[in-house]
């Protein structure tokens, strides 16, 4: 059964990641204190601004890079990064499907070699390795004819599916998926989503699902966090966050989703002024969203808001949203 | 209709080997006029990227153009010499590649790469630097100075896509070809980019080809849509018409795969049954036949060409939509 409670499958505690600056270059504070718990057998969705630190978070969670501070635990055990790490054991516990599939596939390995290598390293399906490779290709809707292709002989969506098959090959407990369906047509996307849901239900895998595709994040996630500039600005159950968003950035996201209906889009285009191509400078203090925020008040430019709960697990980091929510409760 | 700025005629792409040729793109016709936005959607692996790469003769070997024409404002690019092609690439025709990492040099700072590209088209160095700063700002990149002095691996997926778009727009091209250019952008920034492209187009009458899987983006941005399946364009129609009344069963099936509000949380999403054919080993008849709910005897024998369906649309299907249910 899913969501059986108990120990979280994956948790992050106050993760901070800074990349040092260089010659006339400021340092980058990619993550500024992110905490989250992925419950066993469940999906935790992450959405957020481009460049807000989602892929950085993914790399820290699977131990590819050390955090500047903070820690990661998988099934209650801390993940260490360093020379002494048992990479092989870690790979059975957690796998990452990279945002850029081409850069994560070895250009010298044919698809079947790439998959067989994973099986071999972990001693999986020793007696029936070829059959397992074929199974994995079928699972991601590719079929055997792709077995002897090199990565450069694949289309974008085909490479993305090979990357997913490769992560599944290790049979990990936790799968971190960074934009796993961005290069797929809607039918193949449906097929991959159905596969992910099915194997989660069957095997109790836990997912961290990062995507800009709000409809897919909503479809698969139990919980969702919204990130902005290295911070979680809103989190809660999927329906709380996406159906009743509290943070103005989450609302802007929900409003900007393009609808596959030209009449709706035309009406929208005629009614709204085109968005200015403005560049938002990160404020020295106060709320990181304040330069873009339509609800901004003087306090927002002074004091950074913190994540506050609404009582039922829905949290938001916004002065105005928290105040309005409080007022609604006491009314 | 105004004359086509870019037209692709009968394009065939494939791999030649001892036993013959494997044809992957099997006769594609596409046209885009100046001031027009054409969307290209379709099956993953149907040949969208290979078609776009052929326009600028950028196919990696052993892939090669087997036949067909590419005309830029009437000029035959297939027979242009290398010098002329270099001038066209990133000049009159700019391309945003599906995989930014493979088209940027990993060892050079991003700003240097845009400046160099501009200089290759004759822009003096100071002007190139100013223009680089300007276009990086236009695509909404925060801290343009930091972005300029970063190496590609130091930028996020969506930052790289915006760098690619900025680079493409920097030379004010006559034709912009963008291959899945906004998959790594959040929807607010994506909207900003779509608005920017529309605004620039109104200003400069650029012709735009936008390849995407996002049917919402298609609805928002483009005037006309071409749908590709198994190496061919199987339907082409004005955007409104395509969504309201698709006339090819693949298009209809694709639209039916969009998740509607009736689908419950984590419940199975609609997908098209069956598997796409191997373009190199097609059996005779319509390539969609095995997955098509409306196939008739003729579909197994003869491959349909594009047939006029009225109101500016064409579809490669033997069956009129009116008869699908009968
Ligand atoms: N190796 C690095 N050196 C310097 N800065 C880096 C490095 N890796 C990432 N960054 C910076 O960290 C920030 C977060 O990047 P990240 O890739 O995590 O964003 P993201 O949320 O995944 O964005 P997208 O949605 O565009 O993929 C960005 O400002 C990026 O430039
Ligand atoms: N070098 C190659 N050798 C053999 N087949 C190739 C080669 N390069 C591409 N292909 C095949 O050609 C077909 C068309 O590829 P293309 O990249 O144009 O697809 P696409 O429509 O852009 O798909 P996507 O939406 O997934 O990006 C694919 O099936 C791909 O596997
Ligand atoms: S030609 Fe026949 S098989 Fe092909 S799409 Fe039309 S009805 Fe279906
Ligand atoms: Mg990313
Ligand atoms: Mg492609």
Using one digit for the tens of pLDDT, what is the confidence trace for A120-129?
999 999 999 9
Does B99 reach chain A within 8 Å, measured CB to CB?
Answer: yes
Summarised one tens digit per residue, pLDDT across range A156-186 is 999 999 999 999 999 999 999 999 999 999 9
Does B52 reach chain A within 8 Å, measured CB to CB?
Answer: no
For residue A51, the CA-to-ligand 4 centroid distance in Å is 7
* Shortest distance, CA B168 to any CA of chain A (angstroms): 17
- A134-157: average pLDDT: 94
What's the pLDDT at A276?
54
Name the residue with the closest Cα to ligand 1, atom 24. Answer: A50
- B85-104: average pLDDT: 92
- Residues in chain A closer than 8 A to B137 (CB atoms): 277, 279
SS3 A295: coil
For residue A52, the CA-to-ligand 1 centroid distance in Å is 7
For residue B71, the CA-to-ligand 4 centroid distance in Å is 37
Cα separation, B198 vs B208, whole angstroms: 9
B285 CB under 6 A from ligand 3?
no
Neighbours of B124 (CB within 10 A): 10
What's the pLDDT at B34?
96
Cis peptide before B324 (omega within 30 of 0): no
Query: Taking CA A325 as the corner, what is the angle to CA A314 and CA A14, rounded to the nearest 5 degrees?
Result: 40
Summarised one tens digit per residue, pLDDT across range B224-244 is 999 999 999 999 999 999 999
- List, as ranges, residues with CB under 5 A of the ion ligand 4: A 54-55, 99; B 156-157
pLDDT above 80: residue A6 = no
- Residues in chain B closer than 8 A to A261 (CB atoms): 219, 243
| Separation in Å, CA A193 to CA A55, A200, B100, B269 | 20, 11, 25, 8
Taking CB atoms and an 8 Å limit, are A261 and B150 in contact across chains? no
What's the pLDDT at B22?
92
CATH match for A10-228 among 3.40.50.20, 3.40.50.300, 3.10.20.30, 3.40.50.720: 3.40.50.300
Summarised one tens digit per residue, pLDDT across range A34-47 is 999 999 999 999 99
* Shortest distance, CA B128 to any CA of chain A (angstroms): 20
Which of the four pLDDT bands, split at 50, 70 and 90, describes residue B1? very low
Summarised one tens digit per residue, pLDDT across range B245-298 is 999 999 999 999 999 888 999 999 999 999 889 887 888 999 999 999 999 999
Where b means 16+ CB within 10 Å and e means fewer, B57-86 reads bebeeebebbebebbbeeeebeebeeeeee
For residue B293, the CA-to-ligand 3 centroid distance in Å is 8
Name the residue with the closest Cα to ligand 2, atom 3. Answer: A153
Query: Which residues 6+ apart lie within 8 Å of B73 measured at CB?
Result: B3, B5, B6, B174
A216 CB under 6 A from ligand 1?
no
* ipTM of the complex in this document: 0.95
- Tell me whether residue A214 is exposed, middle or buried, using C-beta atoms within 10 angstroms of its C-beta: 0 to 12, 13 to 18, 19 or more: buried
pLDDT above 80: residue A2 = no
* Residues composing chain A: 331
pLDDT above 50: residue A227 = yes
Q: Which of A54, A156, A277 sits opposite B180 (nearest CB)?
A: A156
Which of the four pLDDT bands, split at 50, 70 and 90, describes residue A4? low
Instruction: Write out residues with Cβ below 6 Å of ligand 2.
Output: A 153-158, 183; B 15, 24, 44-50, 63, 98
Taking CB atoms and an 8 Å limit, are A253 and B186 in contact across chains? yes
pLDDT above 70: residue A1 = no
What's the pLDDT at A271?
78
Summarised one tens digit per residue, pLDDT across range A15-28 is 999 999 877 788 99
What's the pLDDT at A81?
74
Domain spans in chain A, listed from the N-terminal domain onward: 10-228, 244-324
Summarised one tens digit per residue, pLDDT across range A49-85 is 999 999 999 999 999 999 999 999 999 989 877 777 7
Name the residue with the closest Cα to ligand 1, atom 9. Answer: B154
Output the pTM of the full model. 0.95
Taking CB atoms and an 8 Å limit, are A261 and B253 in contact across chains? no
Looking from the CA of residue B48, the nearest atom of ligand 2 is 21
- Tell me whether residue A251 is exposed, middle or buried, using C-beta atoms within 10 angstroms of its C-beta: 0 to 12, 13 to 18, 19 or more: middle
Summarised one tens digit per residue, pLDDT across range B133-153 is 999 989 988 888 899 999 999
Name the residue with the closest Cα to ligand 1, atom 6. Answer: B154
Cα separation, B255 vs B243, whole angstroms: 8
- A112-126: average pLDDT: 95
What's the pLDDT at B245?
95
The mean predicted confidence, pLDDT, of chain B is: 94
Taking CB atoms and an 8 Å limit, are A187 and B253 in contact across chains? yes
For residue B41, the CA-to-ligand 5 centroid distance in Å is 10
Taking CB atoms and an 8 Å limit, are A152 and B190 in contact across chains? no
């Amino acid at each position: 059964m899913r969501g059986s409670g108990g120990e979280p499958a994956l948790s992050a505690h106050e993760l901070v990641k800074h990349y040092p600056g260089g010659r006339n270059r400021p340092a980058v504070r990619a993550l500024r204190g992110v905490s989250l718990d992925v419950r066993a057998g469940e999906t935790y969705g992450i959405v957020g601004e481009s460049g807000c630190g989602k892929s950085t978070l993914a790399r820290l969670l699977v131990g590819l890079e050390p955090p500047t501070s903070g820690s990661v635990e998988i099934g209650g055990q801390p993940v260490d990064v360093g020379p002494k790490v048992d990479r092989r054991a870690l790979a059975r516990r957690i796998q990452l499907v990279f945002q850029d599939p081409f850069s994560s596939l070895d250009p010298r390995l044919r698809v079947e070699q790439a998959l067989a290598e994973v099986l071999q390293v972990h001693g999986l399906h020793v007696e029936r390795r070829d059959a397992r490779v074929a199974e994995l290709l079928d699972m991601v809707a590719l079929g055997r004819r792709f077995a002897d292709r090199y990565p450069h002989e694949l289309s974008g969506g085909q490479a993305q599916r090979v990357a997913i098959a490769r992560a599944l090959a290790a049979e990990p407990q936790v799968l971190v998926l960074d934009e796993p369906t961005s290069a797929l047509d809607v039918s193949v996307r449906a097929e991959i989503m159905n596969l992910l849901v099915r194997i989660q239900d069957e095997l109790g895998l836990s997912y961290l699902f990062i995507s800009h595709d709000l409809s897919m994040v909503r479809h698969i996630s139990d919980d969702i966090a919204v990130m902005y500039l290295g911070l979680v600005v809103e989190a809660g159950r999927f329906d709380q966050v996406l159906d009743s968003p509290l943070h103005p950035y989450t609302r802007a996201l929900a409003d900007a989703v393009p609808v596959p209906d030209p009449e709706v889009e035309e009406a929208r285009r005629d009614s709204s002024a085109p968005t200015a191509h403005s560049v938002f400078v990160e404020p020295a203090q106060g709320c990181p969203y304040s330069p873009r925020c339509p609800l901004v008040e003087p306090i927002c430019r002074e004091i950074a808001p913190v994540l506050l709960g609404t009582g039922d697990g829905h949290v938001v980091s916004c002065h105005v949203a928290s105040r309005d929510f409080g007022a609604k409760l006491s009314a | 209709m105004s004359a086509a700025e870019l037209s692709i005629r009968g394009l065939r792409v494939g791999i030649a080997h001892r036993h013959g040729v494997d044809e992957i793109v099997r006769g594609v016709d596409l046209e885009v006029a100046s001031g027009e936005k054409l969307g290209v959607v379709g099956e993953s692996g149907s040949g969208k990227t290979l078609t776009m790469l052929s326009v600028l003769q950028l196919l990696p070997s052993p892939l090669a153009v087997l036949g067909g024409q590419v005309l830029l404002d009437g000029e035959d690019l297939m027979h242009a010499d290398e010098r002329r092609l270099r001038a066209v690439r990133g000049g009159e025709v700019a391309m945003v590649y599906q995989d930014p990492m493979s088209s940027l040099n990993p060892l050079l700072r991003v700003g240097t790469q845009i400046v160099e590209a501009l200089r290759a088209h004759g822009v003096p160095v100071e002007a190139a630097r100013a223009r680089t700063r300007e276009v990086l700002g236009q695509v909404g990149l925060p801290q343009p100075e930091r972005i300029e002095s970063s190496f590609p691996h130091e930028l996020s997926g969506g930052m790289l896509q915006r760098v690619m778009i900025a680079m493409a727009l920097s030379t004010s091209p006559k034709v912009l070809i963008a291959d899945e250019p906004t998959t790594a952008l959040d929807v607010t920034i994506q909207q900003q980019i779509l608005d920017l492209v529309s605004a620039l187009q109104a200003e400069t009458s650029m012709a735009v080809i936008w390849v995407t899987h996002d049917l919402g983006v298609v609805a928002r941005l483009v005037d006309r849509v071409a749908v590709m399946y198994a190496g061919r364009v199987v339907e082409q129609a004005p955007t409104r018409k395509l969504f309201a009344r698709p006339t090819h069963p693949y298009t209809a099936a694709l639209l039916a795969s969009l998740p509607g509000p009736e689908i419950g949380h984590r419940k199975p999403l609609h997908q098209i049954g069956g598997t796409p054919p191997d373009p190199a080993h097609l059996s005779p008849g319509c390539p969609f036949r095995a997955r098509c709910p409306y196939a008739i005897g003729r579909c197994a024998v003869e491959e349909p060409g594009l047939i006029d369906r009225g109101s500016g649309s064409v579809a490669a299907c033997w069956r009129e939509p009116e008869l699908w249910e009968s």
